[in-house]
A and B are shown apart, each in its own frame.
Chain A
Amino acid sequence: MLLILSIILIIVLLLAGVAVPMAFGGVLLLISIMGDHNIAGFIGTGHWKMNTLIILVIPLFIVAGDLMQKGKIAGPIVAIAELILGGIKGGLSGACVVASAMFGAISGSGAATLTCIGSIMMPHLRKNKYPEGFSAALLVSSSPLGLLIPPSGTQLVYAWLTQQSVLKCFLAALSAGLILALFLLIVNFVMLRNVKNIELKTFDGSFVSEFGKTTFNAVPAILMPLIILGGIYGGIMTPTEAAGVAAIYAIPVGFWVYKGLTIKVFWETLKESSVTIGVVMVMIFMVLIVSKFLIFEGVPRIAQEFIFSVSENPIVVLLMINVTMIIIGMLMDDFSGLVLCASLLTPIAVSVGMDPIHFAAVLGVNLGMGNITPPTAPLLYLGARVTGVSVQKMMKPTIIMILFAWLPTLLLVTFIPQIALFLPELFYGAR
């Protein structure tokens, strides 16, 4: 009963437009009325749950991403991608996918990737006469690659919540991210094959000298993910320390290398980042309390029984889990969706024989897909703002990309566990 009422209440509150933390506060109110709990312990529970250093990786990723965005670190990354692919038809838009994957690896955030890459690439795409709706849709569809290409903040949080190895989660999600990037590139070239008027990018000097110059300019930007990944994989730093070092590294690079930061911009960026941190962390605070009490009330077991009452076939169960995650991804941002799914759905996925490392990749793809799936699609609406293209114009190409790039990736990653588990097993051996 509590499960059904909680689900109904959260859906009603979220669809009505109640702020996410307050919507979860509403569910907590319901739990306090229906369950036998000490209400004086509710907020303390949230404090206990979040009183750990690893969770600080989220604010650190947010501030690092914002500093990179304002520091104009995305520019040289886009330049490399353009240089490699810009000379062929569909190449400039293909460069969006590559640049999003590269910048996603740096920022770890879909929204930051979309804002940075979208604002730089869209004028280039317009100038070279790429179809507007298609270009904006591709930018939106590529932006969640940051959830999959390591280092990814969401994978770090998943690993913390489910007590899994961070590095294994990174590797599992990486395979999914590469497959998705490949599918997006294929869809891009297929959709543009009959489009006329597209102008190809030309370069004045020789390709080699241009490539050398552009790569040299991009070195400080490319060093960013290397610091994080090298630090973590080399056992030199914890993920939280690596994120902190990356944020500090972004300051001189933004001030003196790419010159996007001034004292004023820097201070304003810190203020903006802090508000984003407040919004995200308080939302996670509330989600963690609710998920703790729902788990206490036996909700995962009830949900499991409900799912098994529909079917015990693992394929059907996995499909149902996927649909649930997509719906959650449609309603929430990546971090809060992740916290909810990881807490409530991981036990169910594990009960049908899914490896939690495999589930990390499936969850990443699902949430990314939910974030761009209409009607809610937080990234789709952000994309409209960033690119200045209406959601209506983006709708058809976005749906095509969901059907022919995201959905195949999701099905492959869900039903062929080796895709996600190959790299973790290669580096760390089978369980």
Chain B
Amino acid sequence: MTELADRLPPRLGKTVKWMVAIKLNVCAIATLILPITFTLVVIFRYILHLDLFAYEEWLLPISFWLYFLASGVASYEDSQIRADVLESLFRTPSAIWRRRVILNIVETSISLVVLYWAALMMLREIGSYPFWQKTIALQIPYAAPRLGIFIGLFFMAFYGLLHLYVLLKFGHSLVEEKLTVDENETGKA
């Protein structure tokens, strides 16, 4: 299946694919760290009679990086959840294309505003150095998870812009191609 990066200029496409692969692998590792940590907590408590000291202070920042980097990948894959009630009302390729462009503009604009809010949050964090907020035991700055949020939101907006670029560059042909693929798949089924 053709993905977003395949429709971008070759060098940019290659970089984007590489970035997505890194993000996915980092997220997979983080996804595995979560249950392993909680299992270790239980093992430490009942078998070793020890406490996994302040594990929440490093686990929660990891989880924020996971949430937002993975959401960035979801934006790349265009797999964010949407209701799509009105989709079936648009039948011609040009109508479908126009709807997608408008949706993309709305989503990307909101993404950029949210990214701006996240940037303000980061600036405030950086501005408060060296008196920034830290966790109690391990002294991990709150900027650590917040940086993950900012970077994740950046990628969501970035991939939104790339989708918009591809939609505008390829026009109706993109929709026609997708409709043909869908018809072929339905035919096979």
Interface set of A (CB-CB < 8 Å, partner B)? 13-22, 25-26, 28-29, 39-44, 46-47, 50-53, 56, 59-60, 63-64, 236-237, 240-241, 243-245, 247-248, 267, 270-271, 273-275, 277-283, 285, 331-333, 336, 375-376, 378, 388
Which residue of B35, B56, B110 contacts A245 across the interface (Cβ within 8 Å)? B35
- Shortest CB distance B69–A (Å): 7
The digit string for B6-37, where 1 denotes a CB below 8 A from any CB of A, is 00000000000000000011011111101111
Task: Tell me the count of chain B residues lying within 8 A, CB to CB, of chain A.
Answer: 64
A43–B41 Cα distance when bound, in Å, is 30
| Contact yes or no, A270 B28, CB < 8 A | yes
Is the beta-carbon distance between A29 and B110 smaller than 8 angstroms? yes
Q: Say what secondary structure dominates the interface of chain B.
A: helix
What are 29 sample pairs from A and B whose C-beta atoms fall under 8 A apart?
A: A15-B83, A15-B85, A15-B86, A17-B82, A17-B84, A18-B106, A20-B82, A21-B71, A21-B80, A22-B80, A22-B106, A29-B110, A39-B120, A50-B64, A56-B38, A59-B31, A59-B66, A60-B35, A60-B38, A243-B38, A274-B24, A274-B31, A277-B66, A277-B70, A278-B67, A278-B68, A278-B71, A278-B152, A332-B83
Residue of B nearest to A336 (CB): B81
**B103 and A17 contacting across the interface, CB-CB below 8 Å:** yes
CA distance A240 to B28 in the complex (A): 19
Which residues does B use to contact A, with CB under 8 Å? 24-25, 27-32, 34-39, 41-42, 46, 56, 59-60, 63-64, 66-74, 77, 79-87, 99, 103, 106-107, 110-111, 113-114, 117-118, 120-121, 123-124, 142, 145-146, 149-150, 152-153, 156, 189
Contact B103–A16 (Cβ < 8 Å): yes
Residue of A nearest to B55 (CB): A53
State whether A244 touches B39 (Cβ < 8 A): yes
Chain B residues in 8 Å Cβ range of A22: 80, 106-107, 110-111
Q: How many Å lie between the Cα of A63 and that of B70 in the bound state?
A: 13
For residue B64, which residues in chain A have a CB less than 8 angstroms away from its CB? Answer: 47, 50-51
8 shortest A-B CB distances, which residue pairs? A278-B70, A244-B38, A274-B27, A19-B80, A278-B71, A247-B35, A40-B120, A270-B28
